[in-house]
């Protein structure tokens, strides 16, 4: 089915030629009026997908404890900017703030900054986090300087990626064009060589690869800011430790969908290339490690026990089910990775070990 945004993209292509998958993704997600992340309420049971903070309060609570510990490790600066990239419904941050109320001086030092483009979600964030007087920003670069604690859960996967395929003639970029019928969007390989070939590995014919320039640029901006002003960042997402072919995918109503179908009404995301983010940050990094290992080391099993001690039988079963979803290897425990970026002036962060 072709949407209004689909027609706009097809018209642009007819006028100026095929576009990269990154440009398609940027339009489909970010078009100011019709983009998926401008208008939809994507997260939660009624949306298109469910995220870790929506599964259990334990996720945000443990991340809150991690952030407070990092704040202490850098000398408890006041003020400190607590920055969340893509806060969704505000659930992670609400749980993090509640869990850290007892940390002396932490809340008094915090200035909350939310980087969010989605207007309906900003309204939800106002409901969940309004008491902490957040400032909203369109972009990370707009957040005022100073020591920072940065958290991003399932944010980098929404940033655009280019796709490539190795042919007998070398790497070719996969483009989005318009079918001869003039209306529907189709994939086609660019006929000529790509300037990105020098960043792509030696690979057999048929191999596929992705490069996310926006994610790399953001990781570079985060690393530069932390080195300059101090602080820590925690990036959680599904992804891979290095290179893994074509991962761009479409989801609508909790199901897989076709990438080019119904732009603006479909979530598009790609697995995060953590090696590329770590290299781009040009600051000390820890991980990526598996989400399951990270949460276990932060004490999620003990937290689940203490919640269960105050729960009835059906609540106890729900806590166990949520715990399994977050940490089991065949659920989110292994596919989701955690990367920490630091300022190089402070100690090893909780949950990570020297070897990683």
Main-chain phi, psi angles of 187, to 5 degrees: -85, 145
Q: Kind and range of the H or E element at 170?
A: strand 170-178
Q: Is 336 in the site for ligand SAH (CB under 6 A)?
A: no
Q: How many residues bind ligand SAH (CB under 6 A)?
A: 20
What is the Cα–Cα distance from 229 to 35, expressed in whole angstroms?
A: 34
Structure tokens, 37? 């992340």
Among 71, 155, 164, 274, binds ligand SAH (CB under 6 A): 155
Main-chain phi, psi angles of 252, to 5 degrees: -140, 130
Among 53, 264, 288, 342, binds ligand SAH (CB under 6 A): 53
Stretch that binds ligand SAH, among 35-43, 186-194, 203-211, 215-223 (CB under 6 A): 35-43
> Of 208 and 331, which CB lies nearer to ligand SAH in the complex structure?
331
What is the Cα–Cα distance from 36 to 27, expressed in whole angstroms?
A: 9
Give the DSSP per-residue string, 232-268.
EEEEEEEEESS--S---EEEETTEEE-TTSSTTSSEE
Stretch that binds ligand SAH, among 80-88, 178-186, 256-264, 274-282 (CB under 6 A): 80-88
Alpha helices by DSSP H, listed for 147-299, are 213-229, 274-281, 291-297
Q: How far is the CB of 236 from ligand SAH (least distance, A)?
A: 8
> Of 32 and 204, which CB lies nearer to ligand SAH in the complex structure?
32
Return the SS3 of 88. coil
Among 18, 47, 86, 231, binds ligand SAH (CB under 6 A): 86
What is the Cα–Cα distance from 273 to 254, expressed in whole angstroms?
A: 23
Q: How far is the CB of 269 from ligand SAH (least distance, A)?
A: 9
Q: Which residue has the CB atom at the shortest distance from ligand SAH?
A: 86
Q: How far is the CB of 142 from ligand SAH (least distance, A)?
A: 11
> Of 125 and 194, which CB lies nearer to ligand SAH in the complex structure?
125
User: Is the Cβ–Cβ distance between 224 and 185 less than 8 Å?
Assistant: no
Among 24, 37, 232, 336, binds ligand SAH (CB under 6 A): 37
> Of 54 and 273, which CB lies nearer to ligand SAH in the complex structure?
54
User: Is the Cβ–Cβ distance between 270 and 251 less than 8 Å?
Assistant: no
Distances (CA, A) of 217 to 22, 72, 174, 279: 14, 28, 21, 11
Q: Is 92 in the site for ligand SAH (CB under 6 A)?
A: yes
> Of 115 and 178, which CB lies nearer to ligand SAH in the complex structure?
115
Q: Kind and range of the H or E element at 64?
A: helix 57-73
> Of 25 and 260, which CB lies nearer to ligand SAH in the complex structure?
25
Q: How far is the CB of 152 from ligand SAH (least distance, A)?
A: 7
Which residue in this structure is represented by tokens 């008491």? 131
Q: Is 237 in the site for ligand SAH (CB under 6 A)?
A: no
Among 48, 61, 116, 265, binds ligand SAH (CB under 6 A): 116
Give the interface with ligand SAH as residue ranges (CB under 6 A).
Answer: 30, 37, 42-43, 51, 53-54, 86-88, 92, 115-118, 121, 153-155, 158
């Amino acid at each position: 089915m072709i949407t209004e945004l689909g027609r706009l993209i097809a018209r642009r292509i007819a006028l100026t030629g095929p576009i990269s998958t990154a440009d398609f993704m940027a339009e489909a997600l970010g078009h100011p009026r019709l983009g998926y992340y401008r208008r939809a309420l994507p997260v939660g049971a009624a949306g298109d997908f469910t995220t870790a903070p929506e599964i259990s309060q334990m996720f945000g609570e443990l991340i809150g404890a991690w952030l407070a510990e990092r704040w202490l490790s850098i000398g408890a600066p006041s003020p400190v900017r607590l920055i969340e990239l893509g806060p969704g419904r505000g659930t992670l941050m609400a749980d993090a703030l509640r869990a850290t109320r007892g940390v002396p001086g932490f809340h008094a030092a915090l200035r909350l900054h939310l980087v969010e483009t989605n207007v309906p979600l900003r309204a939800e964030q106002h409901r969940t986090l309004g008491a902490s007087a957040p400032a909203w920003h369109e972009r990370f670069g707009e957040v005022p300087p100073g020591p920072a604690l940065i958290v991003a859960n399932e944010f980098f996967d929404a940033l655009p990626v280019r796709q490539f395929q190795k042919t007998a003639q070398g790497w070719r970029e996969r483009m989005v064009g318009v079918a001869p019928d003039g209306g529907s969007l189709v994939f086609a390989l660019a006929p000529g060589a790509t300037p990105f070939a020098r960043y792509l590995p030696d690979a057999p014919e048929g191999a596929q690869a992705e490069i996310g320039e926006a994610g790399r640029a953001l990781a570079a901006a985060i690393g530069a800011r932390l080195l300059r002003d101090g602080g820590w960042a925690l990036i959680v997402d599904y992804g891979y430790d290095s290179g893994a072919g074509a991962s761009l995918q479409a989801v609508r109503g909790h199901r897989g969908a076709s990438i080019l179908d119904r732009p603006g009404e479909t979530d598009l995301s790609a697995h995060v290339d953590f090696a590329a983010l770590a290299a781009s940050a040009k600051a000390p990094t820890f991980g990526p490690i598996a989400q399951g290992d990270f949460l276990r080391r932060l004490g999620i099993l003990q937290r689940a026990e203490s919640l269960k001690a105050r729960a009835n039988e059906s609540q106890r079963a729900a806590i166990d089910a949520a715990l399994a979803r977050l940490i089991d290897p065949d659920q989110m425990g292994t596919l989701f990775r955690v990367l920490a970026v630091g300022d190089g002036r402070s100690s090893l962060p909780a949950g990570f070990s020297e070897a990683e």
